[in-house]
Amino acid sequence: MLLKNKYQLFALISFIILSIIAAVIYYQFWLNLSPEEQVILGKIFKDNIGPIFIAFVLIAFAFGLAFDQFLNTYVLPLKRTVEELSIVTSANPSHRISLEGSNDLETLVDMINEMADRIEVSEQEIENTIQQAKRESEEEKNRLAAVISGFPEGIIICNINWQILLYNQKARSLLIDQAEDQEGKQSATDSLGLGRSILGILNKNQVVHVFDELTNRLEKEEDHSGYHFAHTTGSGGMLDVYAIPIITNEIQIFGFVLIVKDITQRMVVEDQREVYLDSLITSIRSAMSGIRAAMETIMDFPDMGPDELAKLRRIILDETHNLSSVIDCPEVESILGSKSEWPMEDFQCDDLLEIIRKKAQSDLKLSIEVQSSDENLWIHVDSFSIVHAVLFQLHKLVSKVGPKWIQCRFKQSGKSVMFDLTWQGNAILPQDLNQWVFQRMEIGEATIPFTLKETMRQHNTEIWPQVTSDGYPCLRMMFPKVASKVVTNDRAHAAISVKSRTEFYDFDIFNRVEALDPEEDSFLSDLTYTVFDTETTGLNPKEDEIISIGALRIVNGRLLREESFDRLVNPNRSIPKESIKYHGIKANMLKGQPDIKVTLPGFFSFAKDTVLIGHNAAFDMKMLQMKEKATGISFTNPVLDTLLLSAVINPAQKNHSLEAIAKRLGIRVIGRHTALGDALTTGELFLKMIPLLETKSIFTLKQAIDASRKTYYARLKY
What does DSSP assign to residue 572? S
Count CA atoms closer than 13 A to 55's CA, side-chain side: 7
- SS3 call for 394: helix
Contact 635, 609 (CB under 8 A): no
Active-site choice (228, 388, 395, 673)? 673
DSSP character string of 641-678: EHHHHHHHH-TT-S--SHHHHHHHHT----STTSHHHH
Question: Rg of the chain's alpha carbons, rounded to an integer?
Answer: 39
Angle at 420 between CA 419 and CA 425, to 5 degrees: 165
Buried b (16+ CB within 10 A) or exposed e, 451-474: bbebbbbbbebebeeeeeeeebbb
Contact 215, 159 (CB under 8 A): no
DSSP H helices, 301-376, are 306-327, 332-337, 349-363
Phi, psi of 546 (to 5 degrees): -80, 135
Q: Which residues pair with 436 in a beta bridge?
A: none
Measured distance CA(174)–CA(259) in Å, rounded: 11
* Segments of 504-620 assigned E as strands: 529-536, 546-555, 558-568, 611-614
Count CA atoms closer than 13 A to 635's CA, side-chain side: 28
How far, CA to CA in Å, does 454 sit from each of 162, 448, 482, 605, 656? 29, 11, 22, 32, 62
Q: Do the bridges between strand 238-247 and strand 227-232 make them parallel or antiparallel, or are there none, so unpaired?
A: antiparallel
Measured distance CA(354)–CA(372) in Å, rounded: 9
Q: Which residues pair with 442 in a beta bridge?
A: 447
Phi, psi of 682 (to 5 degrees): -65, -40
- Give residues with Cβ within 8 angstroms of 66, minimum separation 6: none
Q: Which residues pair with 466 in a beta bridge?
A: 474
- Give residues with Cβ within 8 angstroms of 96, minimum separation 6: 88, 113, 116
Contact 195, 530 (CB under 8 A): no
Q: Which residues pair with 260 in a beta bridge?
A: 154, 241
Contact 605, 593 (CB under 8 A): no
What does DSSP assign to residue 234? T
Contact 550, 675 (CB under 8 A): yes
Residue 673 annotated in active site: yes
Phi, psi of 30 (to 5 degrees): -65, -40
Where does residue 513 rank: exposed (0-12), middle (13-18), buried (19+ CB within 10 A)?
Answer: exposed
How many residues are recorded in the chain? Answer: 718
Phi, psi of 310 (to 5 degrees): -65, -40
Q: Which residues pair with 347 in a beta bridge?
A: 379
Q: Report CA torsion sign: 434, 435, 441, 444.
A: negative
Q: Do the bridges between strand 529-536 and strand 440-443 make them parallel or antiparallel, or are there none, so unpaired?
A: unpaired
Catalytic residue numbers read: 673
